[in-house]
Amino acid sequence: MHLSVALDGAGWHPAAWREPRARPAELFTARYWIDVIAEAERGLLDFVTIEDGFSLQSSRTDRVGGRLDAVLIAARAAPLTRHIGLMPTVVVTHTEPFHISKAIATLDYASNGRAGVRVRLSASPDEAAHFGRRAFPPLSPAGRDDPTRQQLVTGLFDEAADYVEVVRRLWDSWEDDAEIRDAATGRFIDRGKLHYIDFSGDHFSVKGPSITPRPPQGQPVVSALGHATAAYRLIGRAADIGYVTPGDASHAAQIVAGIRAVSRAHDPIHIFGDLVVFLGPTPTAAADRKARLDELAGYVYTSDATVFTGTPAQLAGLLTEWQQAGLSGFRLRPGGIPGDLEAITRELVPELQRRGAFRASYEAGTLRGLLGLSRPASRYAASEKPLSGSN
C-alpha cells in the first residue's frame, strides 16, 4: 500500500489552528513546514502534497488565510529531507508550462529525484482577475448541469492535459547525456542532443527546448485530483497518480474502472483514495474532538472527500478494504496538525506494518522508485530533429 499526506496549513478543519498543539504563529515560517514534512518522512510515507491556490482559503476572519508558495516550500525542504517525495500544487490555469517545467525540474535536482507536481485547475472569476488575461462567469454548485458551465469546465480540463503534455515534452527535450562537460575540448553541451518540442495545440504553442537539463527522474511524478468524468479523463490521459474521493469500497471500484477505461494503456497509473482523517485512541475520543472543532467553527465540517473519525486501527481496516477494491494507495488529509499527522505516522503506519500492508523502510531513492514507476527514456532520444549545430 502506498501512503501520502496532503498538507494544508494547520490542518484541513478550518478551526484546526485553534487546537492546543497547533502553531498558528509559525504557519508562514520555513521551520513549520520542515517539521511537518520531516514528521511525514519519519512515518516512511511515499510523499507529501502541499496545497496552493490564488485566493484566500476563506473570507472569514476566524479561519487561516494566506499561503506560502508550495513550490518554494518544497524546495526549502528538499535538502533537509532524504527519502520522502515532495509534490507541490500548481494552478495550471493561470501559469505557463515552460516556467513550471523548469521549477519542477529544479526541485528534482534539489531533492535528488524526489519531485512531483499536483496539477490543479481554477474556474474562479476572482482568481482570473488577478491576472487579467481572461474572465470566467460565476459558477454556482446549483448549475452543475448547465451546458455553458460544462463546456467551460471541459475546456479547462483539456487545457490542463495539454499543459502537462508540454511540461513532459520539455522535461524530455534534453537527452540524458546532452551535457558533455569536457574542459579539454571546451564542449559543455552536445547541441545535437537538445531538441525542439514544437508543440502546437488549441491552448499552447511552445517551441522549446527547456533551459534546464533533463531531471534526475527523467519525468517527475504528475498527479491530479478528480471527482467526475472530465477529471478522470485528465488523470487517465496525463497523470501518474490520480486522487479520487469514493464514499465506500464499491464506489472506489467503480471509480477505478472508470479511470482505467480512459487511461493510456502503456503507462501505469496509481489511483489513490482521499480521506480527511480525525484520529483518536477511541472512536468516541476522535468524534468528540471533531465535534469540538465543529463547535469552534460554528458548523459541522464536511468535505469533498470522506471524513473519517475513529482509531488508527479502524482506519487501517478501512484502507485495506478499499485497497482490495482496486486503489493502490491513499492520500490522507489530517484534520489537525500535528495531532492527526502524528497519529498517521506513529500509530496508523505501525498498524499497517503489523498487517504486512506497508513498508518497514524506504526501498528506493527516487519518488518514481518508491511508486514502482520506471524511469522513462526521453522521447526525443532517437529524434532526427535536434537543434542546429553540434557544439
Give the C-alpha separation, 280 to 269, whole Å.
33
Nearest to 150 by CA among 235, 92, 229, 260: 229
Other CB atoms within 10 Å distance of the CB of residue 130: 12
- Looking only at the bridges linking them, the beta strands covering 179-182 and 187-189 are antiparallel
CB 210 within 8 A of CB 98: yes
CB 218 within 8 A of CB 376: yes
- Per-residue pLDDT, 133: 85
- Per-residue pLDDT, 59: 79
Give the C-alpha separation, 364 to 358, whole Å.
14
Nearest to 219 by CA among 364, 113, 365, 97: 113
Sequence length of the chain is 391
Q: Could you give the dihedral angle defined by the CA atoms of residues 341, 342, 345 and 348, in that order, rounded to the nearest 10 degrees?
A: -90
Residue by residue, pLDDT tens for the chain (391 residues) are 999 999 999 999 999 999 999 999 999 999 999 999 999 999 999 999 999 998 888 878 888 999 999 999 999 999 999 999 999 999 999 999 999 999 999 999 999 999 999 999 988 888 888 888 888 888 766 666 777 778 888 899 999 999 999 999 999 999 999 998 989 888 898 989 999 999 999 999 999 999 999 999 999 999 999 998 889 999 999 999 999 999 999 999 999 999 998 887 667 899 999 999 999 999 999 999 999 999 999 999 999 999 999 999 999 999 999 999 999 999 999 999 999 999 999 999 999 999 999 999 999 999 999 999 999 999 999 765 666 443 3
| 2-139+218-370: CATH architecture | Alpha-Beta Barrel (3.20)
User: What does the block give as the cell for 335?
Assistant: 484534520
The ranges assigned to domains in the chain are 2-139+218-370
- Per-residue pLDDT, 145: 72
CB 235 within 8 A of CB 251: no
Q: Phi and psi (nearest 5°) for 278?
A: -125, 110
Give the C-alpha separation, 381 to 194, whole Å.
9
Q: Could you give the dihedral angle defined by the CA atoms of residues 124, 273, 289 and 353, in that order, rounded to the nearest 10 degrees?
A: -150
Nearest to 357 by CA among 388, 316, 391: 316
- Per-residue pLDDT, 389: 40
Specify the pTM: 0.94
Q: Phi and psi (nearest 5°) for 222?
A: -110, 135
252 Cβ contact partners less than 8 Å away, ≥ 6 residues apart = 244, 246, 273, 322, 325, 326, 327
Q: Could you give the dihedral angle defined by the CA atoms of residues 101, 49, 70 and 34, in that order, rounded to the nearest 10 degrees?
A: -120
